[in-house]
Amino acid sequence: MKLTHRYAHLWQKSGLLDELLDKDRNPKPLVTYIKQLPKAAEKLARADGADYADYYGWMGEVLCEFWLRLFGHRYDVFDVQDTSADQFQRGYDFTARSAFAEELQVQIQVKMRRDTEKSFLFKELYTFLDEGKKAGILPQYLVLMVPTSQLPWNEVLSYRDGFQARYGTRVRIITGEMMQTDVRELPSAAKRHYNEEFFARFKAAL
């Protein structure tokens, strides 16, 4: 597998994957990398004279591209395509197809935020929801990925102004904990721990 995201090199440049084990020689879980991403993105952006928020978002997208290519089939998603070549892409970061009906489109948006327990307001997801509506995307194929969220999936959308009530069933939400759950089931031909296996494959795909 080779990732296509134009900013995949940021993970290589960051050095986050240079050592897959912690100081106690235990394989680092997904949450560890998520916690390290803000500082890594800040350092890279500062060195390049770029916007930290862009780097943080792009690195999150790269991680999600790999995870989707590895586990998307479990969510009836295949043929994942990133949109990173178009800096003006509105509302979503990836497209895909349904495994059961190729004519059914999938739109996937990745959101990264430092406040891991803050839910999203309608205005923060307006373009994502608007693009999904215009394209007639079915609820199970309008996917919001929030690797940084420590909230239960049904609390990722804010209850404020009835946002959760109106849109909670119109969007499929994947949190960092849900991503980690799938990682736990990853087999390893090399008999590595599932966390090490996931990030070893991720590193090779960059």
CA distance 205 to 1: 6
* Contact (CB, 8 A) for 198 and 192: no
* Contact (CB, 8 A) for 17 and 203: yes
Instruction: Supply φ then ψ for residue 16, to 5 degrees.
Output: -60, -30
pLDDT, tens digit (0-9, with 9 covering 90-100), for 76-135: 999 999 999 988 889 999 999 998 898 999 999 999 999 989 999 999 999 999 999 999
Full-prediction pTM beyond 0.85?
A: yes
Put residue 204 in one of left, alpha, beta given phi > 0 → left and psi -120 to 50 → alpha: alpha
Which pLDDT belongs to residue 70? 96
**12 pLDDT band (50/70/90 cuts)?**
very high
pLDDT, tens digit (0-9, with 9 covering 90-100), for 28-80: 999 999 999 999 999 999 999 999 999 999 999 999 999 999 999 999 999 99
CA dihedral 140, 142, 143, 149 (to 10 degrees): -100
Burial of 85: CB neighbours in 10 Å, binned 0-12, 13-18, 19+: exposed
Q: Which domains does the chain have, with CATH numbers?
A: 16-205 (3.40.1350)
What's the average model confidence in pLDDT over 17-31? 94
Sign of CA dihedral 37, 116, 184, 23: positive
* Contact (CB, 8 A) for 69 and 80: yes
Distances (CA, A) of 141 to 21, 98, 127, 158, 172: 35, 8, 16, 21, 7
Distances (CA, A) of 44 to 26, 47, 55, 189: 27, 5, 8, 34
Which pLDDT belongs to residue 188? 86
Tokens, residue 168: 């909670």
Tell me the one-letter amino acid at 74: R
* Contact (CB, 8 A) for 103 and 69: no
CA distance 45 to 181: 31
Which pLDDT belongs to residue 102? 86
Which pLDDT belongs to residue 190? 84
Tokens, residue 116: 């891991």
pLDDT, tens digit (0-9, with 9 covering 90-100), for 138-197: 999 999 999 999 999 999 999 999 999 999 999 999 999 999 999 999 988 888 999 999
